[in-house]
């Protein structure tokens, strides 16, 4: 159990709660990041394929928060040859208006998300080549930490073997309905951070009766209980997406209560059905 708002992994201090920016674009993205920084968020996550790095950078530039107080992460796009990594990271740095990234991640192990059409003009990325380029960026001081995303234990282990720089985190889907116990156990043994995205199950937790019942004991919402469940686990951070000031504030208000061991166990209910239900509901509602 932890009450700390940060976690130290491999000697690196990371805020346990960050802001995910997937599907945030234009003025909405910029305004959301500005609001989050104003409220005290110090962990911002973006990606080259989100097409919002410039807006994130504009928000950082407009904020009074010093750059060194923000843990800033972005993820590589599908083109990941050695030269591509160096070039696209420089482009990310320019868009974000910063001299360095706190974290650069490989976004997808095969270069593209599941279900997306293959690109006949590109071959599968060479992970060793990609990591070599990421390591060069670390040596040059342009990237402080490297990580991976959407990989299982075997692929995480391979990345750790291939990379000279320590792999700081594996960013994966993790919420009460999605089991990541094998990966989390590995991360704990090897001092790797598990960064949970889609921590609210694509909205599926919001009407969950178990979370509602537990939340009433603490005057907290189901979403707050789900987020607390994550950050109360050793070796876990999370990056929920939110846009309104009300939701951003609510997501931060999770460090003033503590779930019991029985509640922690009760909340963990792996269910592909509930995960799919939340995913489809989110797509229908936009």
Inside any domain, residue 83: yes
Tell me the pLDDT band of 4, cut-offs 50, 70 and 90. Answer: confident
Domain of residue 113: give its range.
6-285
Q: What is the pLDDT of residues 184-198, one digit of tens each?
A: 999 999 999 999 999
Instruction: Report the domain count for the chain.
Output: 1
Catalytic annotation, residues: 50
Inside any domain, residue 1: no
Tell me the pLDDT band of 252, cut-offs 50, 70 and 90. Answer: very high
Say which CATH number the domain at 53 has: 3.20.20.100
List the beta bridge partners of residue 13.
8
Residue 119: the pLDDT is: 47
Tell me the pLDDT band of 115, cut-offs 50, 70 and 90. Answer: low
């Amino acid at each position: 159990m932890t009450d700390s708002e940060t976690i130290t992994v491999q000697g690196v201090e990371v805020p346990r709660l960050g802001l995910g920016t997937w599907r945030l674009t234009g003025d909405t993205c910029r305004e959301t990041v500005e609001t989050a920084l104003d409220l005290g968020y110090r962990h911002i996550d973006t990606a080259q394929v989100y097409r919002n790095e410039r807006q994130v950078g504009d928000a950082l530039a407009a904020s009074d928060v010093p750059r060194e107080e923000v843990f800033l992460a972005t993820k590589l796009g599908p083109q990941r040859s050695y030269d591509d990594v160096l070039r696209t990271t420089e482009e990310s740095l320019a868009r974000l208006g910063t001299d360095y990234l706190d974290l650069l991640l490989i976004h997808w192990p095969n270069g593209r998300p599941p279900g997306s059409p293959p690109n006949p003009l590109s071959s599968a990325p060479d992970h060793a080549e990609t990591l070599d380029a990421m390591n060069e960026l670390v040596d040059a001081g342009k990237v402080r930490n490297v990580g991976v995303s959407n990989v299982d234990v075997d692929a995480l282990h391979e990345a750790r073997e291939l990379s000279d720089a320590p792999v700081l985190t594996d960013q994966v889907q993790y919420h009460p309905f999605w089991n990541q116990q094998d990966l989390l156990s590995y991360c704990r043994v090897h001092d790797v951070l598990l960064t949970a995205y889609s921590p609210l199950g694509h909205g599926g937790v919001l009407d969950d009766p178990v979370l509602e019942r537990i939340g009433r004991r603490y005057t907290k919402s189901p979403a707050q209980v789900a987020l607390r469940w994550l950050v109360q686990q050793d070796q876990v951070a999370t990056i929920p997406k939110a846009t309104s000031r009300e939701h951003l504030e609510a997501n931060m208000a999770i460090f003033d209560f503590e779930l019991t061991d029985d509640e922690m166990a009760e909340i963990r209910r792996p269910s592909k059905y509930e995960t799919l239900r939340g995913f489809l509901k989110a797509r229908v509602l936009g």
